[in-house]
Structure 1
Amino acid sequence: MEMKINFSGRAIRYTEDEIAAVVEAMRTADPLTQGRYMREFESAFARYQGVAPGSCFTTMNGCAALEMSAQLCRFKPGDELVIPSHTFTASAYPYLKKGAVPVWADIDPLTRVVTAESIEKALTPRTRAVVVVHLYGYVADMPEIAALCRERGILCIEDAAQAIGAEVAGRKAGSFGDMAVFSFHSHKNLTTLGEGGMLYVADPQAAAIIPALRHNGHCAYPFERPDYWKPAMGNVDIPRLGDDLLMPSNYCLGEVECALGLKLLERIDTINDEKRARALRFIDGLADFPQLQFHRVESRRHNYHLLVARMTTGTGARDRFIRAMHDEKGIKCVVQYIPLDRYDFYRRLGFGTARCPEADAFFDTMVSFPFQHWMSDAELDYMLASARDVLAGMD
């Protein structure tokens, strides 16, 4: 069967204005990294998020932002990290590299994200931090979760990689926690030429060391220099937070990517709104097939980065559905985000035990439909008609 609708790794098509912004940066940016486009993008992103100026920092990708957030946690031996088992692996392993012991939290069966209740069940006296993943573009109950973390004196990190622009309680995803991470990967609703990310840090003292932590320890000399070239063009030191020294890396995002991100911020709400409207049309078009259960949200709490459902009739039915969609209709649906405790990677590290029955049940029955923003109306209509036809044939 010829593939008619692929599960694309590219979420959006760029407008001529966005292409022009990239070309202009290619022509004029000096330097091509750590320049004015970076500063403008970071400032615009902070305004968009409604957070303090100087609290947002571009990174080469979302994982680099996670790596720095893990450093800022300053884990001590035995410190635990509560994190959903149902997420992408990059949400977890940067913290393990810094010594955290993961404790897997379960998800809500309808929203597919963690709740304050599921997090609280995983807390122990050793919990140092909680990572809340706004998976699929839906914001978890951050007012309640942030309050729980404050009450317990626990760091709260939002993995908002998939949830840019989504909102709850009048605030943007990624504005509630002590830190937040965003991704501008090729598959995201806002993407900066394949890779890119952003780190939000609420604590001004921690935020102050991010430029050096992100860029090789570069910093100013602590004294006046009569000659700008002495003792060297720039100083290098180890960033310090409290009593801890944090080794730097090079996680910078280039000026061309920053110029594109700055321009894309102008239409991210439109992209999200258009995807949500299409998702609702698709979901409502399958309302008479209850065996395929979606998470239907009309508000901006969901940006529908992905369009997922679960097959209520079990794993076998799910597999037959995906096989028929692919083999008979030429539509590539996929299954995403195996619970991390089920990967050999985490089992070999000794983290293969979890009490997350909802995460297991969802993964074993989930279907993720192709849902890139640039899909045509005809393609969406064909996918809807095909899903209806396959489901009708499974009765």
Structure 2
Amino acid sequence: MKIPSQDLKRQYKSIQNEIDAVVLDVLAQQSFILGPYVESFENSMANYCGAKYAIGVSSGTDALLLALMACGIKSGDEVITTPFTFFATAGSIARLGALPVFVDIDPATYNIDVRKIASAVSSKTKALLPVHLFGQCAEMDAILEMAQTKGLYVVEDAAQAIGAFYKGKQAGTMGDTGCFSFYPSKNLGAYGDGGLVTANDDEMGALIKALRVHGSNTRYYHEYVGINGRLDALQAAILHTKLKHLNEWSEKRRTVAAYYDEHLSGMPVRLPEIMNGNTHIYHQYVIATPKRDLLKEHLSVQGIETVIYYPVPLHLQKCFAYLGYKSGDLPVSEKAANEVLSLPVFPEITREEQDFVIEQIKAFFTRK
């Protein structure tokens, strides 16, 4: 049996008529840059998230970059974040000449360990950039309290957490800005790159809107030096169509995760843990074991695709050698990088497929 880590073809087949219709409409209108489809999607996303502003941008990476630019992050500033995340989180900080300051993670959730943030704050710290990893929010109360006490911006990386909740508040709406990715594999995925920034402050919302079009509010008149960071109409039309299905898909992911939880309980693997007050949307279903590489190989031989997010924590990436981190500095992140494994989790996975995954994991540990 061949089981992919995700299957976007199944998703497309389930909504093909809806998608094809809006794509053809965009082609018929021949209006591709911003415009009505982008505005409609932005309005729907603002309503969905409960944010005053939702600004469509060209990618999740550019969402982070624009949010940091809007916060005034510049050369010499420091931004505190996690080393256990996708590269763009820290890469966006570095692109502005600022320094990423890495704080180790909580072993239970893989999110930043809020108990360790205070010791990383310096006179150069300008922002905190928590990541809501794998679909679960970071411990935002402590982060927001620290930011308020120290006068820091909070930029939420919610790229993997659209629709996740923390104590009744949706991911991406608690900080100064929230950043989302619509990379095709995300729970709400485009057919190419796309992203979005949320904000509740009028000045912040207006600034991000200008920065995404080269710092311009009126064409050819530039108040700031921005970037070309717009969401295009074709992606917006596709995303707007898919948005109406997102809650249903998220619920199906939770059902899939619950089935894994039930049937992998008692196995010598660490299962996902949900922090009190959180609603998880399972962008990934992540287990952990010291035998990760052998387990992954066994599952691959059986036709089961699994993925490692992430094999090298950011503080040990070659491009960040100048920051001076060394192996052993952030041990929880380093241990996670050696042990985590993401199992197939997508709304359309069948019970038969899940049973086979579970059967093969049990077979691996039984024979070992």
Equivalence map 1:231-310=2 (5 Å)? 234-239=219-224, 247-289=225-267, 291-297=268-274, 301-310=279-288
1:317-364 Cα offsets, whole Å, 9 max, x none, are 22221121112x1212222222101111211x3343473211111111
For the residues of structure 2 that align with 1:272 and 1:25, how far apart are their CA atoms? 28
Does the 8 A contact of 1:21 with 1:263 survive in 2? no
TM superposition shift of 1:12: 6.4
Does the 8 A contact of 1:310 with 1:365 survive in 2? yes
TM superposition shift of 1:115: 3.3
1:51-81 Cα offsets, whole Å, 9 max, x none, are 21xx210011101111111212323443211
CA RMSD, 1 decimal = 2.1
Consecutive unaligned residues of structure 2, counting only runs of 5 or more, are none
For the residues of structure 2 that align with 1:336 and 1:136, how far apart are their CA atoms? 9
1:78-104 Cα offsets, whole Å, 9 max, x none, are 321111011110011111111211111
For the residues of structure 1 that align with 2:244 and 2:3, how far apart are their CA atoms? 28
Does the 8 A contact of 2:109 with 2:273 survive in 1? no
For the residues of structure 2 that align with 1:25 and 1:151, how far apart are their CA atoms? 50
SS in 1 for 2:4: coil
For the residues of structure 1 that align with 2:168 and 2:153, how far apart are their CA atoms? 22
TM superposition shift of 1:381: 1.7
- Alignment equivalent of 1:340, drawn from 314, 332, 337: 314
Q: What TM-score, normalized by structure 2, do the two folds share? A: 0.92
Equivalence map 1:162-201=2 (5 Å)? 162-201=160-199
TM superposition shift of 1:273: 1.0
What amino acid is aligned across from residue 136 of structure 1 in structure 2? F
For the residues of structure 2 that align with 1:44 and 1:378, how far apart are their CA atoms? 36
Does the 8 A contact of 1:33 with 1:253 survive in 2? yes
What amino acid is aligned across from residue 41 of structure 2 in structure 1? F
What amino acid is aligned across from residue 227 of structure 2 in structure 1? S
* Pair 25,300 (structure 1): closer, same or farther in 2 beyond 3 Å: farther
Show the counterpart of 2:39.
Answer: 39
Does the 8 A contact of 2:32 with 2:232 survive in 1? yes
Does the 8 A contact of 2:137 with 2:278 survive in 1? no
SS in 2 for 1:133: coil
What amino acid is aligned across from residue 43 of structure 2 in structure 1? S
Does the 8 A contact of 1:139 with 1:163 survive in 2? yes
SS in 2 for 1:371: coil
Are residues 1:355 and 2:340 paired? Answer: no
SS in 2 for 1:292: coil
Show the counterpart of 2:115.
Answer: 117
What amino acid is aligned across from residue 360 of structure 1 in structure 2? E
Does the 8 A contact of 1:104 with 1:355 survive in 2? no
Show the counterpart of 2:18.
Answer: 18
What amino acid is aligned across from residue 191 of structure 1 in structure 2? G
Consecutive unaligned residues of structure 1, counting only runs of 5 or more, are 221-233, 240-246
Does the 8 A contact of 2:23 with 2:237 survive in 1? no
Does the 8 A contact of 1:294 with 1:309 survive in 2? yes
What amino acid is aligned across from residue 388 of structure 1 in structure 2? K
Please say which of residues 179-188 and 358-367 is displaced more in the overlay: 358-367
For the residues of structure 2 that align with 1:77 and 1:235, how far apart are their CA atoms? 27
Q: What TM-score, normalized by structure 1, do the two folds share? A: 0.86
Show the counterpart of 1:242.
Answer: none
Show the counterpart of 1:243.
Answer: none
For the residues of structure 2 that align with 1:75 and 1:272, how far apart are their CA atoms? 34
Does the 8 A contact of 2:23 with 2:238 survive in 1? no
1:164-202 Cα offsets, whole Å, 9 max, x none, are 000011110011001110001111000111321101133
Show the counterpart of 1:383.
Answer: 357
For the residues of structure 2 that align with 1:117 and 1:351, how far apart are their CA atoms? 22
Does the 8 A contact of 1:102 with 1:351 survive in 2? no
Bigger Rg, which one: 1
SS in 2 for 1:92: helix
Q: Percent identity between the aligned chains?
A: 28
Are residues 1:81 and 2:79 paired? Answer: yes
For the residues of structure 2 that align with 1:254 and 1:77, how far apart are their CA atoms? 30
Q: How many residues align?
A: 363
For the residues of structure 1 that align with 2:134 and 2:248, how far apart are their CA atoms? 18
For the residues of structure 2 that align with 1:12 and 1:109, how far apart are their CA atoms? 34
Please say which of residues 84-93 and 385-394 is displaced more in the overlay: 385-394
TM superposition shift of 1:9: 7.4
What amino acid is aligned across from residue 31 of structure 2 in structure 1? P
Show the counterpart of 1:223.
Answer: none
1:268-316 Cα offsets, whole Å, 9 max, x none, are 1111111011111012101121x201114498621000011111xx2xx
Does the 8 A contact of 2:256 with 2:345 survive in 1? no
